[in-house]
A and B are shown apart, each in its own frame.
Chain A
Amino acid sequence: MEKTYGTAASPGIVRARAFFYERVVPVSGRPFSGAEAELARFLAARDEAVGQLLGLRDKASVEIGEEEAAIFEIGAMMLQDEDYAACVEEAVRDRSLAAERAVAEASESFSAQLAASGDAYLSARAADVKDASARVVGILCGGRTAPEPDGPVVLVADDLLPSETVSMDRSLLLGIATSGGSPNAHTAILARSMGIPAVVCLGPAAGRSAHGRDVVLDGDNGVLVLDPDAAEAGAADSRAAEAAARKASLQSLRGLENRTRGGRLVDVFANAGSQADVEAALANDAGGIGLLRSEFLYLEKDRYPTEEELFSSYRAAAESMAGRKVVIRTLDVGADKSAPYLGLAAEENPALGLRAVRLCLSRPALFNTQLRAILRASAYGTVAIMFPMIATVRDVEECLRALDGARAELQAEGVSFDPCLETGIMIETPAAALVAADLASLVDFFSVGTNDLAQYTLAADRQNAAVRSYYDQGHPAVMRLIGMAARAAKDAGLWIGVCGELAADASRTAELLAMGVDELSVSPSSVLALRARIRELD
């Protein structure tokens, strides 16, 4: 038995035979056979590739969706572009390159131009040019075939092109394990939309040597096990069976209302920390995004993100949710959760230090960039803004003043935003819960962050295992504070949500609803389970 840890890219667990897939590598040494002959070869191969791509488009539009299908159609159009053909022709006529070499050069040249455009969307299309071109090269070199396993398998590869994932017979594809790739790569997104487990960045374990061996692929924990022993295999099989049963029963809840037996409707939203989470939220039928974290936009960088970068990420989320509410939380970092370029001083007690809005209010430019980006994104969907770590009325007033400043700037520049954008605050300090009535008059909604509220109320560091027993989100002290906030919200006509881990705790759902909580925001994979729970309450 051999166990390798990679990066989880799509959840689920499966046990099956591994099938190693290797792309046909073009033979570069083929001699030049004259310009006319090479061009004729190119045109024939191109037309064949266009035909294949249009076939894939039809297949994808039936099996996956129009968005995925469009990628193949665009690939076909790229190959038929006059400039692309002219580039190939130039290389053949002027430099006597064989057709496959000329196509490979055109592929590099056009993908480099798109990658250099500085536009994230266009840069991503560079991969589409390469994919379409590789298909032509493959045909010229005597065939580039899709993986063709003879039974259900876990596909193992260095990395996969989107077309390779789609061309495969999906009934045989039980999971994907790659040695390279990234959880945000196309293949990972496809795996999630197909609902099969995927693990990426596995290194040599996902190589040729895995071919034909029995494997367990655990997409929840990012693990690939080669030749599992009986215990490992049995555990995987029972987890897979459990998951399948759970999934089948939960899937039947898609499209249904989050309505209690007594007739009360509750919003079940999802928490998201990336665009992939937003897509998972949609896949799980979430009614909105109750918490879109901004941290991923900052912590994965080595410099401040630009307003455009923030805007395009927020806008992507707003557009994906297509009118369903997206609550964007401003940056929530502190000395314990930071990136070097932010230059935060070390603190004795970071949980009680200069973090979240405290940091943002002390750095007006950092804050303003976020506020502008969020406002601009509000023109593309239903966006709400939420400020974390509020402790005093003054915090809220200063945040709202900064927001008004950003609004005035955009208005003066003629940039559109949603004038009805809802503003809200997180209730995650005991102080905020205690003065909730005073805060309520300033905002449109509250969202209770139970993870921090519990830590501050119970004086128990949630990272410290030694005080684990003190850290209980359902502790009566925490529940009473939530009750106070809910009462203040109801008295002032605000809606109130809960976005911490407590929101997904089925044993607390009834109590939270009784307090008047209107919205529960949980991880995308918990949405349907929570719906099931709500539907069995009175």
Chain B
Amino acid sequence: MKSFDYVMTAPEGIHSRPAGALVKKAQEFESEILVSFGGKSANARKLFALMKLGVKRGDTVSVTAEGADEELASSAMADFLASHF
């Protein structure tokens, strides 16, 4: 399992439009990718679950990837978050 933390800098946090892009990215990998915040976790492939986390600017989320391509998935998600959120 690979994991990392990320501080949201996007002004709107994870809302529908950026969340949609995140889901698409997560779907590229076999690994299960979880985004956790405030004691709740959401599968990064699930749009509603991500939106309902209510992540706002300045919040720290932790991301874990587990599966065959977890190395690749984790670093790709880190890059993706840094450039989109």
Contact = CB atoms under 8 A, between A and B. Distances in A.
A381 to B, nearest CB: 10
Nearest to B56: A119
A380 B23 CA distance: 26
Interface residues of B, number: 17
Contacts of A125: 15-16, 51
A84 interface: yes
A121 B20 CA distance: 15
Given A70-B17, A121-B15, A77 B23 contact: yes
B16 A113 contact: no
A121 B49 contact: no
B39 interface: no
A70 B52 CA distance: 19
A83 interface: yes
If over half of A's interface residues share one DSSP class (helix, strand or loop), that class is named, otherwise mixed; here it is helix
Contacts of B24: 77
Contacts of A83: 46, 48-49
A74 B20 contact: yes
Contacts of A315: 11
Interface string B1-40: 0000000000110011100100110000000000000000
A78 interface: yes
B20 A113 contact: no
A81 B11 contact: no
A128 B17 CA distance: 12
A117 interface: yes
A210 B11 CA distance: 46
A83 B11 CA distance: 27
Interface in B37-74: 43, 45-49, 51-52, 54
A84 B15 contact: no
B12 A121 contact: yes
Interface string A52-91: 0000000000000000001001100110011110000000
29 contacts: A70-B17, A74-B16, A74-B17, A74-B47, A77-B23, A77-B24, A77-B47, A78-B47, A78-B48, A81-B46, A82-B43, A82-B45, A82-B46, A83-B49, A84-B48, A113-B48, A113-B52, A114-B48, A114-B52, A117-B54, A119-B54, A121-B15, A122-B15, A122-B16, A122-B52, A122-B54, A128-B16, A315-B11, A380-B11
Interface of B: 11-12, 15-17, 20, 23-24, 43, 45-49, 51-52, 54
